[in-house]
Homo-oligomer: A and B are copies of this chain.
């Protein structure tokens, strides 16, 4: 199947069908030679405006690397306190000007729906680089590329999502994307941080089998993928409770020994202490490899929306 993504905005994972996600993952995988510089770069002077109103290292640098590897260039900012935001300018006016300076924009902004608003205004494609607490579509797409690259087929996999399932925006987007496939899901979290009911409802609608549980130990030997996320201290009323709870989500070498041989451990990063450093050395620890798939996936997305990659 062949899709035209030219001119399209990347705002929410929910805008994508299963076929489209498959297509993007395949294009991402096909970017490997371009990533290595082995084939001519398809862009020539096109400009990505990289507009980060909120702190980010990984997402921002990943997009910028992807744009350059395609042959393009980058302008932008990573610190809104030194932009016209301090003069009281609203986001819409900024977007309407900046669209004259670029061919595509990636935006991270704390306001829910900011990327959506930008996409309705702008005459260039808008990519959401993380918007409020709800959406991070390119993270979900790179996670899908990672899983697909590791297992070839997503159908049939048993996947655990662990940690902060309530506030982590990556979990929501990933659960939605996975619900388009024939998977079984396990939500592992302290009761305070259980996955939101709207996510479960959408899984029910999609007839996805899932289980909620509190201890990763109960499930580590049954799943193909564990997707761990950071548990933030500030979510807990007192530190004692945090310590008690976070202990039950710590991935160490002993826990990992109980896993299936082919199981992979993913994490959107940054981690705090939910995965010990010893685990990094295991072949099943692929969270740093996700960064590599992130560049491939963003190369695919930028190339597709600019109409320069197929």
Q: Which of A63-71, A127-135, A220-228 contacts B (4 or more CB under 8 A)?
A: A63-71
| Shortest Cβ gap from A211 to chain B (Å) | 30
| Shortest Cβ gap from A120 to chain B (Å) | 13
A197 contacts B by Cβ under 8 Å? no
Contact partners of A75 in chain B: CB under 8 A: 61, 64-65, 68, 74
A294 contacts B by Cβ under 8 Å? yes
A93 touches B61 (CB 8 A): no
Name A70-102 residues within 8 Å CB distance of B.
Answer: 71, 73-79, 81-89, 92-94, 96-98, 100-102
B291 touches A97 (CB 8 A): yes
Cα A292 to Cα B124 in complex, Å, equals 13
Name A171-196 residues within 8 Å CB distance of B.
Answer: none
This chain's copy number in the assembly? 3
Name A124-151 residues within 8 Å CB distance of B.
Answer: none
A254 contacts B by Cβ under 8 Å? no
Name A103's closest neighbour in chain B (CB-CB). Answer: B37
A61 touches B49 (CB 8 A): yes
Cα A53 to Cα B153 in complex, Å, equals 41
Cα A271 to Cα B271 in complex, Å, equals 41
Q: A78-B82, A87-B270, A292-B100 are in contact. Are A69 and B47 (CB under 8 A)?
A: yes
Cα A272 to Cα B86 in complex, Å, equals 12
Contact partners of A78 in chain B: CB under 8 A: 77, 79, 82-83
Q: Which residue from B92, B100, B291 sits with its C-beta under 8 Å from A101? A: B291
A46 contacts B by Cβ under 8 Å? yes
A117 contacts B by Cβ under 8 Å? no
Name A87's closest neighbour in chain B (CB-CB). Answer: B270
Cα A73 to Cα B37 in complex, Å, equals 13
A244 contacts B by Cβ under 8 Å? no
Name A66's closest neighbour in chain B (CB-CB). Answer: B101
B57 touches A84 (CB 8 A): yes
Most-contacted residue by chain B among A61, A65, A88, A98 (CB, 10 A): A61
A45 contacts B by Cβ under 8 Å? yes
Would you give 29 A-B contacts (Cβ < 8 Å), ordered by A?
A37-B45, A47-B65, A47-B69, A52-B82, A55-B83, A56-B84, A57-B84, A57-B94, A58-B98, A61-B75, A61-B77, A61-B101, A62-B101, A68-B73, A68-B75, A78-B79, A78-B83, A79-B82, A84-B270, A88-B270, A89-B269, A89-B271, A93-B269, A93-B270, A96-B280, A96-B288, A97-B291, A100-B295, A101-B291
Across the A-B interface, the 9 shortest Cβ-Cβ residue pairs: A89-B270, A65-B101, A57-B84, A97-B291, A100-B292, A57-B83, A100-B291, A64-B75, A96-B288
Beyond contacts A61-B76, A79-B79, A88-B270: 20 other A-B pairs, Cβ-Cβ < 8 A, are A37-B45, A45-B71, A47-B69, A49-B61, A55-B86, A56-B83, A56-B84, A57-B84, A57-B98, A58-B84, A61-B98, A62-B101, A65-B100, A74-B75, A78-B83, A93-B269, A96-B280, A98-B291, A100-B288, A100-B295
